[in-house]
Every structure is written in structure tokens, then in C-alpha cells.
Structure 1
Amino acid sequence: MTEGDSLNLVGDPMAARAALSPLRRRLLEHLAEPASAAGLGDALGIPRQRVRHHLKVLEQAGLIVEAGQRQRRGFVEKLYAVRPGAMMIDPMLLGFPSIDRDRRDKQDRHSAEHLVRTAARMVHEVGRMRGEAEREGRRLITFTMEADIGFASPVELDAFTARLTRILGDLAQDYPATGDRRQFRLTATGHPTVGTLSGNNERKAVN
């Protein structure tokens, strides 16, 4: 279990709005490498005063940081760069309501909407816990397992999910989330492989 590349979950509504502005998105793209307001203005054809305003908004939102200074045309200019790590908007800011245990149990296990809502909740919870762990100088322990599988028919898919449900139920009994045990949430999902939704594969995937 290892931590991957740094990930910054944007969970503050003001920061999210700053990141989603079309012009600020362009600025963030250009700030993958340190740049100044003047350099960004030249690259994008925008007055540097306007660029400085948007850089200030991005800095206040915590999306960019100062990355040094450099001498240019007789004066010193500040350099800015995107905060290290990939940036992800918290899905819950985009209108994904949380799902309580009772609603999860009643959901259709083959519903794409249920999968998307579950994935959104996972990003929300893990992203926030990871940020808290980093601030405390700790590592968030997680595990991820993936496998490619195939089904000849919807009947096979139903049989697989029923069998997997039984297996997970047995495992859950062996590792109960009670007492002083460190609790984890295990989520098993499956979706058609990207690029297979065409012709016969598409009909099989949506049946």
C-alpha cells in the first residue's frame, strides 16, 4: 500500500468557483510551470493587470503559490505556479447528495446512477481524510484491487454479482467493523471497459 502522486481535493465552494472559471482554468494550465503575470499576459494576449487580478483570486483560493522571483526589464516580478499535486473538485460540490446506509441497501446493484453516486462519495470521503492525514503528518492507509473480467450474457453477470455478494458477506463476518477495530469501507464495482460500447458490445453492456 503506497501513496501515489499528491492529490489536492478542492472542497471549498469559493475555491471551486475560482478553479472553474474558463479564464482561470487557462491560467492554471499555463502555471504547470512557474510564470509571471507579464508572461501569462503575453502568452494569452490579456492585459497583465487583468491577469494579476485573477492570480490574486487563485492565490487566495489556495490553488496557486509563489514560486520565486526573477529580474525582467529592470524590475523584479513574482513567479506563480499551481499548488503541487493534481487538483480535483469535490463531487459533492457539484450536486451529488450523500447516500445513507438504508438507501444504499435499497439501490439497484446494477444501476449506473448508484455506481456514480458511490464513486462521488468515495472521492469526497477519501480526499478529505487524505488531506487531514497529510496535515497531521500521517499516511492514509487504503487498498485498491482491480481485475478485468468478461461476461457472455446478463445471466452470467447476475450469477457473478450474486456470488461476489456471498463472498463479501462471509469476509465481512470474519472482519467485523466493531469495537476498537480500525474500520474500513469495502466497495466493489464494475463497469464496461472504456472503448467497448460499440456494436454488439454496446447492446450487451446496456441490457
Structure 2
Amino acid sequence: MRDDLDVLREEERLRGRLSLLRRRLLEELSEPGSATTLAARLGETRQKINYHLREMEKGGLVELVELRQRRGRTERVLRASARSVVIAPTVIGDARRDGQDRFAADALLSAAARTFNDVAELRERADAAGKRLVTFTVDTEIAFAEPADIERFTQRLADRLADLAAEFHSPASGRRYRVVIGGHPVRGRAENPQEPAP
């Protein structure tokens, strides 16, 4: 069964850089296709497409779904092994947040990178053990009237989180969870002060 999201955590799975052509191939292979059909669609030679498909197959980015006999040769039909592929930040380097205040963009990026890596690794371990990884996500949007409101909101949120942590924390017998809360401006949407609060 195809995954919704494939996380590349090992550099060798990239099998070289994830070039524009390879990204196009992954997009095209949301539906099964062969080197011949892809070459015609993308205006490339079948040999070039076939080389890239074989490298991507070695890295687990595409998978074989069918072998067809066509004009005296065997045609390999492949598809992307996941609906979406992301590269874990640790493939490029380790993001550190030493000395950053909680309002720095780098602090949020570092926390997001660490969360990304941790959850990807835990999901792999759970899959290998045949278990479900239990996580939770809270996501909302807020329109702040003034920049100073962001700091006040953050402080009140931190205070409430500390209260909740004190109420639910069970160091002797509980399962440990990391809770990460961050905020960033909404991308690509015009500001609408009349929009109701979520």
C-alpha cells in the first residue's frame, strides 16, 4: 500500500540530488507510468528517463507495479511510492537553537526541524514493530491587532501550558511527550480584520 508521506532520512536514498527532472517524474508518477510514456510526456529520451527511474527505485522513491510485454521487450510500469516526499532536515545538517530567544524565526525553524526528525524516526520504529504511533496536533489561526499582543499572548499561553503540564505530568509511570507550540504569519492570504476568531 502506498504511503501518504515518505520522509527521506538517509542521504543515500536520494541517490544523488533530487533534480528538477526527478521531481517532475515523481509528480507524473502519482499515476503509474513507464519510461516510454514519461519520456514522450516530458520530451526526454527513454534511456535518460529509464536511468533516473532505476536510481529512484533503488532509493525507494518509486515502485514497480506491473511488467508488460511490448514490441518484443518488457516494459516496466512504476508509480511514486508515496503521495508526497519530504527531505528530513538532518539530511542537510543539524539545526541548533542555542542562545535564541523564543521570538526568533530560527528558534521556530529549529523546533520544527527537531519535531520533524523525531516524529519521522518514531513513525519508522512504530511501522517496523507493527504498531501505531500516537501523536496529536493542534492548529489554528489568530489575527493579532498589534505586535505587542503577540508577546502577551505567548506569555499567557506559556503560563497555561505550564499549568496543564503540572496537572498531567506523571514522571513515574507516564509516556513522555514533547509538546511544541509555535506561530508564524499566514502565507499568501490578504489580511482581513473582519474575519471571525476561530
- Residue of structure 1 equivalent to 2:107: 114
How far is the alpha carbon of 1:118 from its aligned partner? 1.0
- Residue of structure 1 equivalent to 2:50: 52
Q: Is 2:84 the partner of 1:91? A: no
- Determine the C-alpha separation between the residues in 1 that align with 2:47 and 2:31: 20
* Range moving further from structure 2, 110-119 or 88-97: 88-97
* Range moving further from structure 2, 168-177 or 181-190: 168-177
* Secondary structure of residue in 1 paired with 2:33: coil
- Residue of structure 1 equivalent to 2:79: 81
What number of residue pairs does the alignment pair up?
191
2:136 pairs, out of 139, 143, 167, with 143
More helix by share: 1
- Residue of structure 1 equivalent to 2:70: 72
* Range moving further from structure 2, 171-180 or 153-162: 171-180
Q: Is 2:176 the partner of 1:178? A: no
Q: What are the superposed Cα offsets for residues 11-35 of structure 1, whole Å, 9 maximum, x if unpaired?
A: 1112235461222222222211111
- Determine the C-alpha separation between the residues in 1 that align with 2:112 and 2:24: 27
* Secondary structure of residue in 2 paired with 1:20: coil
Q: What are the superposed Cα offsets for residues 48-88 of structure 1, whole Å, 9 maximum, x if unpaired?
A: 22222211111111111101122323433111111034211
- Residue of structure 2 equivalent to 1:169: 162
How far is the alpha carbon of 1:196 from its aligned partner? 5.1
The TM-score normalised by the length of structure 1 is: 0.82
Give % identity.
37
- CA contact 1:18–1:24 (8 Å) conserved in 2: no
Letter matched to residue 116 of structure 1: L
* Secondary structure of residue in 2 paired with 1:76: strand
- CA contact 2:15–2:56 (8 Å) conserved in 1: no
- Determine the C-alpha separation between the residues in 2 that align with 1:96 and 1:43: 38
- CA contact 1:34–1:79 (8 Å) conserved in 2: yes
- Determine the C-alpha separation between the residues in 1 that align with 2:79 and 2:139: 34
Runs of 4+ that moved beyond 6 A: none
- Residue of structure 2 equivalent to 1:193: 186
- CA contact 1:8–1:131 (8 Å) conserved in 2: no
1:38 pairs, out of 9, 21, 36, with 36
- Residue of structure 2 equivalent to 1:133: 126
The structure-2 alpha-carbon separation of the partners of 1:34 and 1:19, relative to structure 1 and needing over 3 Å to count, comes to farther
- CA contact 1:65–1:82 (8 Å) conserved in 2: yes
- CA contact 1:18–1:61 (8 Å) conserved in 2: no
The TM-score normalised by the length of structure 2 is: 0.85
1:24 pairs, out of 22, 25, 36, with 22
How far is the alpha carbon of 1:163 from its aligned partner? 1.0
In angstroms, what is the RMSD of aligned CA positions? 2.3
Letter matched to residue 123 of structure 1: F
Q: What are the superposed Cα offsets for residues 161-202 of structure 1, whole Å, 9 maximum, x if unpaired?
A: 11111111111122226233111011111112223578xx9x
Letter matched to residue 49 of structure 1: Q
* Secondary structure of residue in 2 paired with 1:192: coil
- Determine the C-alpha separation between the residues in 1 that align with 2:51 and 2:25: 12
* Range moving further from structure 2, 19-28 or 166-175: 19-28
* Secondary structure of residue in 2 paired with 1:187: coil
